[in-house]
Structure 1
Amino acid sequence: MTIPTQSPATQQNHDLAAQLRDSRLKPGLKHFIGGQWVAGQAGRTFDAHSPVDNSLLVQVAEGDAGDINRAAQAAHDAFQTWREVGGAERRKILHRIADLIEKRSQEIAVLESLDTGQAIRFMKSAAARGAENFRFYADRAPAAGDGQSLPTTGFLNYSLRQPIGPVGVITPWNTPFMLSTWKIAPALAAGCTVVHKPAEWSPVSATLLAEIMDEAGLPKGVHNLVHGFGETAGKSLTEHPLIKAVAFVGETTTGSHIMRQGADTLKRVHFELGGKNPVVVFDDADLDKALDAVVFMIYSLNGERCTSSSRVLIQQGIYDEFTKRIAARAANIRVGDPLDPDTEVGPLVHPRHFQKVMSYFDKAREEGATIAEGGVRVGDTGNFVRPTLFTGARNDMAIAQEEIFGPVLTAIPFQDEAEALRLANDVAYGLAGYLWTNDLTRAHRFAHGLEAGMIWVNSENVRHLPTPFGGVKNSGIGRDGGDYSFEFYMETKNIAISLGTHKTARLGAGAPPAVTAKEVEG
């Protein structure tokens, strides 16, 4: 697919991309271990490709168990001093990281678009959110260890929190820079050290983040980066005895593997996994606003978003008209060059994922659904897919049960509130849910019954950083956000101080028992 560059802004992005290819990508990507950029011990590399045309983008050092061991040891050694660094000093360093992210935001956005195929209009926002994540946790670092005073009769109890130790962070390929900051920033604020393994399909921005943290003055060994594949580097990280916890964002099956791999060393795990999130539209809703939210939450970020509303449940009386409006909007979405600011949907990240998404078009037809819009690739090269809408669908179809993770929406009708709630909950996942109604009582009632970790009423996904982020069922374990992240990265310790007023039971303080003749003879 040949994609013209039309606007001056697009040309500027391509010029910067060409410079970055020569200066940053042409030499290849290395690991960052103990404050040093190093090649893999075995000397192997793998290729990462451009989603636009699947041409070679960069060669990447392929990490293995030896590289993970070096990184885990570096993180372990650095933890002995980083844990003692005061929260005020950690705050300064994390703010410097945020400053540098903001300074290099255009570079981050261009590299992220090159690497993932995400439209640059969204990657600019992702870079800004990365800086915001560091600032948010920077300001919480001084109080990260705070606990509670819990007095009782005869005792002063107080609790405190202490960093758990070196942690493994495994991040996905959809918005890798932002999601890396979302995991790494609270770990550093808590006083933990990190070994980061980014997804092999999108390794570029992790290298830039490591550079930024090093430039900001993060002590050597506090953050370590090892590239590689899940079945080798990832497995070694989740099994390593020096790694005390693993934070993972990705696919549900992989989360199950990580849990098994970490079992022998009793690792704490935090999983943000898949979703098949419902957006429920009642006939009393503000349908114009609901339409905007439905279209945005499935087709933005190429549909490669864990919180995307990939099932739209629409009340029967408005189903036909509302799906026609979705189809019209989907047909008008601009698919193309991810470096063009006007592009709304870029190419999917990898040919394997592209083929997976494409396979659901035949599944939909086989199951009896209608492809009301899309259902085709765009162009002859690259991983471009037309935004797609399935209508006439049932909740038992594969297109309604399985996470497609692309710009693909399944529309299902319902009669009443009871049926809507049953359909919404009738999946293995439970990450997010969205509800559109002007009935306040129903909104609360429905939200209470919905099996999901996060619910938005009359809104798309609008994150407030102090709130808990995470899912139920097959969508994850644990919560991010605010102090919820510290609950994962820190251990809570209780200390009880006696006031000297309680009495301890006395054992063995009385007269010794008489010795019997039998005991003497024995």
Structure 2
Amino acid sequence: MTDTHLLIAGETLSGDGRDTADVLDPATGEAIGQVTHATTGDLDRALEAAARGFKAWRGTGADQRAAILTKAAALIRERANEIGAAITREQGKPIKEAVGETIYCAMLLEFYAGECKRIYGRTLVRPAGSRVEVQYHPVGPVAGFAAWNFPALNVMRKIGGALAAGCSTIVKPSEETPSAGLALVQALVDAGVPGDAAQCVFGVPDEVSRHLLGSPVIRKVTFTGSTAVGKHLARLAADDLKIATMELGGHAPVLVFADSDIDKALDTMVANKYRNAGQVCVSPTRFLVEEPVFEKFRDGFVERAKAVTVGNGMDKDTAMGPMASARGLERMESLIGDAKSHGANLLFGGERIGNQGFFHQPTVLSEVSQEAEIMNEEPFGPVAILNPMAGEDAMIEEANRLPYGLAAYAWTSDPARRRRLAAEVEAGMLAIDTGGVSAVDAPFGGVKWSGYGSEDGREGVMACMVPKAIHEG
């Protein structure tokens, strides 16, 4: 990578005494570049530009906005291999996944381009001579804060819907994985989004968030990250009654019933579990397996976990890359050690791999006590928990026990049970007999401590708009 700059009001900014921070390659632990931190003056300039950009961009016709976003999506597709390589170098995931993530950003932007023309109001029935019209207007400049685990997609979710709605944006990708987010914003500007309407900054996260959210220019904040940080940003937003979308942590349960196709469930969910080394907010984590099939599921899971190829994400044969940072390894050591101290069985893995980079074994634990920390706090790593369960009622109770509710998964061939699960499992997204919980045209978001508001789908655009009722006599 080359050193990463700021993109403010259409201008690239770096140097001039600005602070910088190293960006590490998680496969080696070595620095591969630096990211520039914005000064207070830079952030003020970005806010001034966002105010200007909102006036200009909201006045751009829907057809023109759609054409520009479609062109940006085409540029992202053209640059997908380059952006994907940057993701792998900075975050560690296999190159195939990184390029796929980038293509998904283009798909999402293409969908949002269409939504520019589908922002519908309505007219309410009134007596002759009077009417009530409901219109939707862009909320205003949006500040987005994106996590490191999906360096491109998290950024696109922050800005794509906002731009489709007619809002201007300032996004702060993670300083640990800066290049992909910056590349997406650059593609938008190259396609014709005004530089004042699509900006990218970096810096000390708390300092940047406090400065941007302390300004009356920003009317909405959108964030992907931990529940603790989400609560902090929500409090900052509340001081000025800013609208917020929070996509926070999860601890996804997987309910596996005796009537399911066990081999299909294993093939799907083991791959899903170790995708991105488990560093996925919707990663399946607590496998709640009906007792009659527990041994078969347990043995099949371990067999497949042992077959996962761990290595440098740039290697085409790698199925699981390194964790993104040393703190991830430390977290795994602590959680696995605590689980074992509470009587958990370590069936496979549990150790760091080598002493270069941040590699960790795919890990499987079973019969894990509810007292163990890993049963109550999101592990965010390559560790699966397998517990036998007595039946449906107990499985649903355990699935809903925690304050998290982002994604959940279930495997059953019973149509009536599917309907019950859809009604009773507390999650923003439920996948039944599949590993997928996201699509460009479907809302993505959680409930309880997993946040509020939605990204993706029509909901991702409407979350950046406010209704206005016009009463005419």
TM-score, length of structure 2 as denominator length = 0.97
Deviations 1:320-356 (A, max 9, x none): 2211110111111000010012101101111122211
Is 1:150 paired with 2:150? no
Structure-2 separation of matches of 1:436 and 1:207 = 39
* C-alpha displacement of 1:447: 2.2
Structure-2 separation of matches of 1:289 and 1:225 = 42
Q: Which runs of 5+ in 2 are unaligned?
A: none
Structure-2 separation of matches of 1:210 and 1:46 = 21
Structure-1 separation of matches of 2:357 and 2:327 = 12
Larger Rg: 1
Question: Corresponding residue for 1:343?
Answer: 318
Question: Corresponding residue for 1:452?
Answer: 427
**Comparing 263-272 and 64-73, the one that deviates more:** 64-73
**Comparing 364-373 and 456-465, the one that deviates more:** 456-465
Question: Corresponding residue for 1:509?
Answer: none
Asked if the contact 2:115–2:461 (Cα under 8 Å) also holds between the matched residues in 1, the reply is no
Question: Corresponding residue for 2:299?
Answer: 324
Structure 1 pair 243/86, CA: closer, same or farther in 2 (3 Å)? same
Structure-1 separation of matches of 2:15 and 2:227 = 29
Asked if the contact 1:65–1:232 (Cα under 8 Å) also holds between the matched residues in 2, the reply is no
- Structure-to-structure mapping, 1:315-394, within 5 angstroms: 315-394=290-369
Asked if the contact 1:277–1:310 (Cα under 8 Å) also holds between the matched residues in 2, the reply is yes
Question: Corresponding residue for 2:463?
Answer: 488
* C-alpha displacement of 1:462: 4.5
Asked if the contact 2:429–2:437 (Cα under 8 Å) also holds between the matched residues in 1, the reply is no
Is 1:198 paired with 2:183? no
- Decide which of 272, 283, 289 is 2:264's aligned counterpart: 289
Aligned to 2:229, the other structure's residue is in SS state helix
Structure-2 separation of matches of 1:474 and 1:42 = 40
Question: Corresponding residue for 1:410?
Answer: 385
Specify the code of the residue in structure 2 equivalent to 1:147.
Answer: G
Size of the aligned set, in residue pairs, is 472
Question: Corresponding residue for 1:95?
Answer: 70
- Structure-to-structure mapping, 1:33-112, within 5 angstroms: 33-39=8-14, 43-112=18-87
Asked if the contact 2:112–2:461 (Cα under 8 Å) also holds between the matched residues in 1, the reply is no
Structure-2 separation of matches of 1:431 and 1:439 = 24
Structure-2 separation of matches of 1:94 and 1:107 = 20
* C-alpha displacement of 1:481: 2.5
Is 1:215 paired with 2:190? yes
Is 1:468 paired with 2:443? yes
* C-alpha displacement of 1:416: 1.1
Structure-1 separation of matches of 2:324 and 2:432 = 31
Specify the code of the residue in structure 2 equivalent to 1:399.
Answer: I
Runs of 4+ in 1 over 4 A off after TM superposition: none
Deviations 1:167-210 (A, max 9, x none): 00111100110221122111111100000111121111122112
Question: Corresponding residue for 2:221?
Answer: 246
TM-score, length of structure 1 as denominator length = 0.88
Structure-1 separation of matches of 2:421 and 2:33 = 48
Structure-1 separation of matches of 2:241 and 2:210 = 15
Specify the code of the residue in structure 1 equivalent to 2:454.
Answer: R
Structure-2 separation of matches of 1:410 and 1:110 = 32
Aligned to 1:379, the other structure's residue is in SS state coil
Q: Which runs of 5+ in 1 are unaligned?
A: 1-20, 499-522
Specify the code of the residue in structure 2 equivalent to 1:299.
Answer: Y
* C-alpha displacement of 1:64: 4.0
Question: Corresponding residue for 1:431?
Answer: 406
Asked if the contact 1:294–1:312 (Cα under 8 Å) also holds between the matched residues in 2, the reply is no
* C-alpha displacement of 1:240: 2.1
C-alpha RMSD of the superposition = 1.3
